[in-house]
Amino acid sequence: MADRLIFLTNDDGVGARGLERMIQMMRPFGHLVVVAPETTQSGMAHAITMSNPLFLREVRSEPGLEVYACSGTPVDCVKMALDYLLPGRKLDMICSGINHGSNAAINVLYSGTMGAAIEGSFYDVPSIGFSLCDHSLDADFEAAGEIVQRIAGAILEHKPALPLCLNVNIPVGRPEDLAGIKVCRQCRGYWKEEFFIRKNPAGRDYFWLTGDFQNHEPDATDTDEWALAHGFVSVVPIQIDLTNHAQVTSLGKFLNR
């Protein structure tokens, strides 16, 4: 519908193929405003720029589509759009992605893609982060694009209660290879990090970070990691309240004075 206003962003940069695929699949739903980082901002989580100026430039403008590049982080892009470009305008949806690489499990805390989606949900706008579990530059975004359109369309139609923030991850494969969509929970686990050390030409040590995800519940069948491993698109509703409510009462018994 032409009267809908939809905001798009990502963390892979304004020229990323995943963003272009999302633009293509979201155009039938309404007028699109895109603000994306000038360069890749992967792993920036909820970072904002406070000690440097931000720059905004128009990249593309045509009927139904406005595209801007912002020098800051994904969350900067959301703030720039909603508080500067579109202040007071009613948005129908915010989508972030399509990211190169999984943002399932603990990755949701590190992800710039999800940082932007979470920020969008603060404005009482349905917000969705989309990620394809493929880091390769030539990743096939065909199935991911179809999932974007299917899930975004369903949310626009059914209008679930707010606040709403979804972490959607799509396994690698052609559209016909996907087993379906599963609404599930975030898997518990962490990244076991490893640093590779090298020397630069001046003899100074430098480090490259790598690691492996450690799944703490490999046998659980209701998690995003299980869904992805079995060919399903995982959809995890994200709760912004980080309070461990189960410990409020027990800790209060000996700390409240």
Residue-level pLDDT at 21: 98
Whole-structure pTM value: 0.94
Q: Is residue 59 part of a domain?
A: yes
CATH number for position 30: 3.40.1210.10
Helices and strands in the chain: count of H runs, count of E runs? 7, 11
- Give pLDDT, residue 174: 95
Within 98-208, residue ranges assigned H as helices are 107-110, 112-121, 142-158
* Contact of 149 with 30, CB cutoff 8 Å: no
Task: Give the residue from 123, 122, 180 showing the smallest Cα distance to 150.
Answer: 180
How far is 124 from 77, CA to CA, in rounded Å? 17
Q: Is residue 113 part of a domain?
A: yes
> How high is the mean pLDDT in each 10-residue block of the chain (257 residues)?
89 97 98 97 96 97 97 98 96 97 96 98 97 94 98 98 98 96 95 89 92 88 97 96 92 92
Q: Is residue 57 part of a domain?
A: yes
Q: CB burial class (10 A; 0-12, 13-18, 19+) of residue 6?
A: buried
pLDDT of residue 2: 58
- Whether 135 is in a domain gets the answer yes
pLDDT of residue 176: 96
Q: Given strand 93-100, what is the order of strands in its sheet?
A: 56-62, 65-70, 31-37, 5-9, 93-100, 127-132, 165-170, 232-237, 180-183
Closest CA to 99 of 87, 115, 88, 85: 115
Residue 10: which domain range? 5-187+220-255
DSSP state of 49: -
Instruction: Provide the strand spans (E) within the chain.
Output: 5-9, 31-37, 56-62, 65-70, 93-100, 127-132, 165-170, 180-183, 189-199, 205-215, 232-237
Considering its fold, how many domains does the chain have in total? 1
